Structure 1
Amino acid sequence: MLIRLVKMHFSAAFITQFKETFKTVQPKIAAFKGCSAVQLLQDSADPNVFFTISHWEDEQHLEDYRQSLLFRETWTVVKPNFQSKAEAWSLLSS
């Protein structure tokens, strides 16, 4: 299993829209082939920082999602609102 952790820092003005966007896309991501879970977490010290944690069967399923229309459409809305570049890690479950 591959766990994908993504850290995102948004402008304060985008937080409400981001939460609404995530509510809409979260079930679609979770239903994507090879994904077994996806969740959103908000930093307790900085409310403009969010993390997504998603669980994938393997790297190829994650890559298929990253090449999908769903990802591209979501990223088009989200990316312009970053305060700093998103950071991402792919972690193996032991």
Structure 2
Amino acid sequence: MLIRIVRMTFAPARVPEFLALFRETEHRIRQQPGCRHLELWQDADHPATYCTHSRWDDAAALDAYRQSALFGAVWPATKQLFAAPAVAFSVVPA
């Protein structure tokens, strides 16, 4: 299993746009082959900062999603709302 964390900081005025985009697409992301889990977290101290936490069968499943038309539409739209670059990393259970 591969766990992917993506931390994103948005311009505060753009947060509603991000939340709408996430809510519109989260079910389709969860349906991607190899996606086992997806949830959205909000930073307790910085309300315009969110993290996605997703679990994938393996790196190949995540890479396949990152090559999909869905990712090709969602990620550029999300990036336009950023106030700072995203920080993304993958981990595996120890």
Match of 2:48 in 1: 48
Match of 2:14 in 1: 14
Match of 1:85 in 2: 85
Query: Partner of 1:24: helix, strand, or coil?
Result: helix
Runs (4+) of structure 1 exceeding 2 A deviation are none
Shift of 1:22: 0.5
Percent identity among equivalent residues? 36
Structure 2: gaps spanning 5 or more residues? none
Contact 2:18 2:81 in 1 (8 A): no
Structure 1: gaps spanning 5 or more residues? none
Q: Following superposition of structure 1 onto structure 2, how do residues 50-65 of structure 1 map, counting pairs within 5 Å?
A: 50-65=50-65
TM-score scaled by length of structure 1: 0.96
1:20-55 C-alpha deviation (Å, 9 max, x unpaired): 111111111111000011000000101110000000
